[in-house]
Amino acid sequence: MKNHEIQMMVEACQLTDEILDAQHPSDLHIPGVVYDPKNRCAYIDTPEGRMRAAVGDYIVRNQNGDLYFCKSDEFEAIYVRMDKPAREHAHENP
């Protein structure tokens, strides 16, 4: 049986050195994410355990408000930016 994943809108930002180096608290920081500039990473505590993100990974908030991390190559394969001009979407697969 073939299945199709339900499309959903998410909010996301890429973890950067600028975000890690920002003084806490900062408008660049997302509530619920623990930033560790010394180790150049960020953490999210989930029911399944602590997730770790490195610079370049995406911090994603789904429609339910849940946070998770996504490697950049996976993120770019799954998601399409909604603020790109329509012509940039023309050659992308849905």
d(CA 50, CA 70): 14
**For residue 62, is it within any domain?**
yes
pLDDT of residue 94: 43
Residue 87 falls inside a structural domain: no
pLDDT for position 56? 97
- Please give the residue range of the domain that contains residue 35: 11-77
Give residue-wise pLDDT tens across range 49-72.
Answer: 999 999 999 999 988 889 999 999
The pair of three-digit structure tokens given for residue 12, joined into one six-digit string: 């996301």
For residue 48, tell me if it sits in a domain.
yes
User: 46 lies in a domain?
Assistant: yes
Residue ranges in the chain whose pLDDT is less than 70: 3-6, 84-94
Q: Which amino acid is it at 49?
A: G
> Does residue 91 lie in a domain region?
no
60: nearest Cα among 5, 17, 10: 10
- Starting at the edge strand found earlier in the chain, the sheet holding 67-70 runs 11-14, 58-61, 67-70
Say if 85 falls within a structural domain.
Answer: no
- What domain count does the chain have? 1
